[in-house]
Amino acid sequence: MSLFESARFLTSAAQVNQLPPAGLPEIAFAGRSNAGKSTTINVLTRQGRLAFASKTPGRTQLVNFFNLSRKTGEGKKAGREDIAFLVDLPGYGYAQANENVKAQWGKMIEDYLHKSKQLKLVFLLIDIRHAPSENDRIMYDWIRRNGYDPIIIATKLDKINRSQIQKQIKLIRTTLQAGADTQIIPYSAQTKQGREEIYEILDGVLAAENPAQE
């Protein structure tokens, strides 16, 4: 479990000037269109259809904002308080998208990373079965260049043998040219392995931004 207790969709933005007003801390999720980003968000928020997980990659073409909230008070005074935005960035790298669409997605993501005033943490999802793609490397570099140290969620852990895990983590780190300071979390949406580690990281951000929960 995590410090947030519920999540709900707030809004979608096609351009940076359509982003909701700054105020709450933002936690962003980035990844290729087939890396399992929507499924991961649904598992973490414990809501099966919060983020649209399509069988057709490349459907997430907007920056989607979700409110994370916690319960306040008891009995008749019980209520909900929004404590953060979870931000679902467009899935990149979909091969069948035309070049104009790919360029638009890339600009949207880079503009968001550069202009967001409340972004506290970026998770980058990479399929553990394969070496990171060129788009993954570009995204990792964008995130670092904008002043964030991304945490890698190595998805689809249940698709490989346990004996392959460390080899694939090393492959991801080497291909991204990531230093030892970049955290890589092996994760499976099916078995939930790695979920508690992600919750601990989320809770660290939420507690820092919402001291009453420490």
**pLDDT means per 10 residues in the chain (214 residues)?**
81 84 90 90 87 53 88 73 92 66 75 90 97 94 93 98 97 96 96 96 89 54
Contact indicator for 26, 118 with CB cutoff of 8 Å = yes
C-alpha span between 26 and 167 (Å, rounded): 32
Q: What is the pTM of this model?
A: 0.89
C-alpha span between 123 and 146 (Å, rounded): 14
Closest CA to 178 of 214, 129, 126, 103: 126
Predicted pLDDT at 214:
43
User: At which residue do the structure tokens 């190595």 appear?
Assistant: 154
Predicted pLDDT at 28:
96
Contact indicator for 206, 83 with CB cutoff of 8 Å = yes
* Strand 119-127 versus strand 151-155 pairing type: parallel
Q: Where is 155: in which H helix or E strand?
A: strand 151-155
Predicted pLDDT at 110:
86
Predicted pLDDT at 97:
57
pLDDT tens profile 147-196: 999 999 999 999 999 999 999 999 999 999 999 999 999 999 999 999 99
